[in-house]
Structure 1
């Protein structure tokens, strides 16, 4: 089992993490902000629950107020917590280390490969070429072709963006987009997943042509059964603390209101609240850093967690490098949010909108304004 499997699905953070204090005279990238000309690259990190783990009272349609707030901010780039097709293809070449990770996080591309004749590298190259040449008003046939190629590239969320850009009458089988792929896309529209229910509809509303999968699991480690048991006991023991208990209490109160759009917005306001990073740190990463096992399983987990966040943020930074000055929305499990914000704040031409200011802005009056 991978170290990643020890992470509790839906682990929650509510806040931004304060930057460390550098010694006097020490180089601090976060203090050297620019650019001198042109707009900075603005970013808002939306900390989210994993929708698949919410109680049955939650319905996808109840995200409408959250989507309104995000749309008012007018993002131009959207990053999601999903593995890229390219990273999944890489991992499939190293099953000794990544077999469990691939099974858990990488959707199969075999049906799309059979339909298109493209493996992941070929489909990825074609996807990029098609996107670069996409006209302002693509014909339906071109969108269907792009959706098929994106599925073969292992980029299902972006494929769904193309699919939902089509009028309902045009969402049909066509050439390499066979009925199996059509059925796959239609199932995605109902999936309880923040990538499909927040990022994709928002991208369509904003007129964007794709989303960017920026998750990273290359730091995952495989344990044998005995080590898995020992590591699991050590880490679960560290999580048994007052801060974790307090988080569960907060969740219980928030989950009780998920039968309304207002209750869902309250949940997102709480998860992005700027004052509670200390709670997530004490309950999770600070606790595991200090757990006393002889093999330091908690620190192994902490090393995995920090490495994963650094690599996720580097993937976002890579996207920002080719889209300078564009307003970027990064949607990620809420425990990642404070690490995202702290690391992104170190980038010279990046302006982070900390906390939940974007969600508190008035959807009408503040549309298009930086919060």
Structure 2
């Protein structure tokens, strides 16, 4: 009995121990004070998804490209899923079918024309870039474009395509008719990865863009099915309709030729706060039923963490250099918060080029 009483006493004592929130032992915000070499600079450009707009043409964003060229990034990341991630998702079609259809290019025609599988194409890209000449011949650019396509990196293939003289934009060196047709069509597509990131990379003489999106995080949502999105629509419907006014005006600004005004809106601190308050902060407080809003919030955090790791990897290719990350505006506050915890990354305000 004495032994039992002692056990009960110990258990009671253990439950009585207070639990305190743990503060990080080291504050990692900002550039590490111990850094004695130049930090890597990263500017996060929050963007609209331009493909959703009517009447927007490449010429409407020329003034933005001019400003970004002054920043002169040495590496550019985009909201595109890396080819290797698409390969992983292809290995699990039952888990990722929707993401594959939405975010991964069908590379089978390109692989047939270049006679490379995924691993061979990725190795070919690394080998070519590892010994890339200062003045590549057209055949070398076509060969690298073919490898990028087969590796599932179409935007980087487009960067090479645009640096060819018009007469050299033809089949050969691994590019077949399907590859050429795809690149010509992609060149006219109105989305930010093409018309901002890839165009800027080609203009600056870069050899690629780095794909930084992630949809392996979609497994967080998988167990909840369509019921989650029905609940999220209920949450979003509680927003003040006037909160959309700024986005409507920004679209009008783009079409009217004032893209800088639109991008000042997308990247302003007030727009960022409003987006967080109307979406993720509401979702994280969802206490009804299965708490779908919390699952949605977790998914977005996981996605952003993995995306930022890809940005950091891109920055590692230009240590002490300049990186531009072009990403949907709702990702921007997460990107900047997470990047600010890296030892050797200095965040550069978009005010530098937009104002």
Distance 2:324 2:134 in 1: 22
Q: Does 1:317 align with 2:312?
A: yes
Pick closer, same or farther for the CA change 1:82–1:25 going to 2, 3 Å.
closer
Structure showing greater Rg: 2
Pick closer, same or farther for the CA change 1:133–1:31 going to 2, 3 Å.
closer
Pick closer, same or farther for the CA change 1:248–1:31 going to 2, 3 Å.
closer
Q: Does 1:37 align with 2:36?
A: yes
Pick closer, same or farther for the CA change 1:217–1:229 going to 2, 3 Å.
closer
In the TM superposition, residue 35 of structure 1 has moved relative to its aligned partner by 6.1
- 8 Å contact kept, 1:34–1:349: no
Q: Secondary structure at the match of 2:217?
A: coil
* Larger fraction in helix: 2
Point out where structure 1 has 5 or more consecutive residues left out of the alignment.
1-21, 362-371
Q: Secondary structure at the match of 1:33?
A: coil
* 1:171-198 deviations in Å (ceiling 9; x for gaps): 1111421122111111011001111100
Q: Does 1:160 align with 2:158?
A: yes
In the TM superposition, residue 273 of structure 1 has moved relative to its aligned partner by 0.8
Residue in 2 that maps onto 1:205: 203
* 1:325-358 deviations in Å (ceiling 9; x for gaps): 110000000000000000000111100013x313
Residue in 1 that maps onto 2:9: none
Root-mean-square deviation (CA, aligned residues, Å) is: 1.8
In the TM superposition, residue 322 of structure 1 has moved relative to its aligned partner by 3.3
**Equivalent in 284, 293, 301 of residue 298 of structure 1:** 293
* 1:303-333 deviations in Å (ceiling 9; x for gaps): 1000000000011112222321110000000
In the TM superposition, residue 90 of structure 1 has moved relative to its aligned partner by 0.7
In the TM superposition, residue 77 of structure 1 has moved relative to its aligned partner by 0.5
**Equivalent in 87, 91, 94 of residue 93 of structure 1:** 91
Residue in 1 that maps onto 2:343: 348
Q: Secondary structure at the match of 1:257?
A: helix
Distance 1:229 1:328 in 2: 37
- After TM superposition, the structure 1 = structure 2 runs for residues 187-226 of structure 1, keeping only pairs within 5 Å, are 187-221=185-219, 223=222
Q: Secondary structure at the match of 1:347?
A: coil
Higher relative contact order (CA closer than 8 Å, sequence separation 6+): 1
Distance 1:261 1:91 in 2: 39
- After TM superposition, the structure 1 = structure 2 runs for residues 1-371 of structure 1, keeping only pairs within 5 Å, are 26-30=25-29, 33-34=32-33, 36-54=35-53, 56-221=54-219, 223=222, 227-242=224-239, 245-262=241-258, 264-354=259-349, 356-361=350-355
- 8 Å contact kept, 2:197–2:209: yes
TM-score by length of 1: 0.86
TM-score by length of 2: 0.90
Q: Secondary structure at the match of 1:82?
A: coil
In the TM superposition, residue 32 of structure 1 has moved relative to its aligned partner by 5.6
Distance 1:126 1:256 in 2: 44
Pick closer, same or farther for the CA change 1:32–1:130 going to 2, 3 Å.
closer
In the TM superposition, residue 153 of structure 1 has moved relative to its aligned partner by 0.4
Distance 1:96 1:265 in 2: 43
Pick closer, same or farther for the CA change 1:174–1:25 going to 2, 3 Å.
closer
In the TM superposition, residue 72 of structure 1 has moved relative to its aligned partner by 0.6
In the TM superposition, residue 271 of structure 1 has moved relative to its aligned partner by 0.2
Residue in 2 that maps onto 1:13: none
Q: Secondary structure at the match of 2:43?
A: strand
Q: State the aligned residue count.
A: 334
Greater mean alpha carbon deviation, residues 89-98 or residues 245-254? 245-254
Pick closer, same or farther for the CA change 1:23–1:261 going to 2, 3 Å.
farther
In the TM superposition, residue 360 of structure 1 has moved relative to its aligned partner by 2.8
- 8 Å contact kept, 2:31–2:340: no
